[in-house]
Structure 1
Amino acid sequence: MILFFGTRQGKTSLKKLDSISCPYCKQLNTLTLIESSNYFHVFWIKLFKLSSHKIAECSHCKRAYYENEFTHEMKQKTIN
Structure 2
Amino acid sequence: MILFFGTKTGKKQTKTLNTVSCPYCAQKGTLMTVSQSNYVHLFWIPIFKLKTSKFAECSHCKRGFYEEEFTPGMEKGLNR
User: One fold, TM greater than 0.5?
Assistant: yes
Q: Secondary structure at the match of 2:77?
A: helix
Unpaired runs of at least 5, structure 1: none
Q: Secondary structure at the match of 2:36?
A: strand
> TM-score by structure 1 length?
0.95
Unpaired runs of at least 5, structure 2: none
What is aligned with 2:45? 45
Q: Which piece of structure 1 moves more, 66-75 or 34-43?
A: 66-75
Counterparts of 1:1-80 in structure 2 under 5 Å? 1-80=1-80
**CA deviation after TM superposition for structure 1 residue 79, in Å:** 1.8
Q: Which piece of structure 1 moves more, 35-44 or 60-69?
A: 60-69
Compute the RMSD of aligned alpha carbons.
0.8
Percent identity among equivalent residues? 55
> TM-score by structure 2 length?
0.95
